[in-house]
Amino acid sequence: MKILKKGFYKQDTLKVAKELLGCVLCRQIGGILYKGKIVETEGYTQEDPACHAYRGVTKRSSTMFEEGGIAYIYFTYGMYHCMNVVTEKQGRGCAVLIRAVEPLSGNFSNTNGPAKLCRELSITRTLNGIDITKKGELWIEERFENPKKIITTTRVGIKDAVDYPWRFYISDNKWVSKK
DNA sequence: TTAATGATGGGCT
DNA sequence: GCCCATCATTAAA
């Protein structure tokens, strides 16, 4: 299985969000390798009022302005983490939120939500900014299989730009988070 | 069955 | 001081 290269992430954010569906999120913890097929994503761009990068570079959002191909992981609601993939070129401020994965190997479950999958895979801020285009603690591999049907709809849990159809998920997959 | 609420702390105005 | 790209638990219907 080949690892997705830097060039993949430097494309348009929404294109990356759609094409990440069916790809494999890999997490190495000690001697155990966890793999999960990505089944749900959301796109965020700097021009988007719901995006952390909307108000410019801050301490938290600075990771989003780096070059595509790294992880942006943030802490929220006092107890949860969410994982994103930074997209496009350096200085853009775009990312794709990984909302759900289907467990493939490593014996884990309960990954049908952005905070839940981070908890299951021990993804925390210590991994913020790491390169996901090479094998290490966290990386993403090419499509495990092509999604049968992709549904496009509005995003979850935001107050601004609620009408943007920037959420994508694989139809009929039981691991997709509830609406 | 669905709807309201509490947990809990960093980030931002 | 208020908001938050969430979730599990409790309450209501």
pLDDT at A162: 94
Pick out the nucleotide with least CA–C1' distance to A155: C5
Among the listed residues A47, A31, A41, A40, the one whose alpha carbon sits nearest the alpha carbon of residue A94: A47
Which CA-bearing residue is nearest the C1' of B11?
A60
Which nucleotides of strand B lie within 7 A of protein CB?
Answer: 7-13
Interatomic CA–C1' length for residue A155 and nucleotide B3, angstroms: 21
Q: What mean pLDDT comes out for the span A168-179?
A: 91
Whether A42 has a pLDDT exceeding 80, the answer reads: yes
Rounded to whole angstroms, the Cα distance separating A57 from A128 reads: 16
Rounded to whole angstroms, the Cα distance separating A63 from A129 reads: 6
Rounded to whole angstroms, the Cα distance separating A33 from A43 reads: 27
| Mean of all residue pLDDT scores within chain A | 96
Rounded to whole angstroms, the Cα distance separating A67 from A156 reads: 26
The residue with greater pLDDT, A172 or A41, is A41
Residues A95-106 pLDDT 10s: 999 999 999 999
Residue A82: partners with Cβ closer than 8 Å, 6 or more residues away: A73, A74, A76, A97, A114, A115, A118
Among the listed residues A81, A90, A38, the one whose alpha carbon sits nearest the alpha carbon of residue A60: A81
Whether A155 has a pLDDT exceeding 70, the answer reads: yes
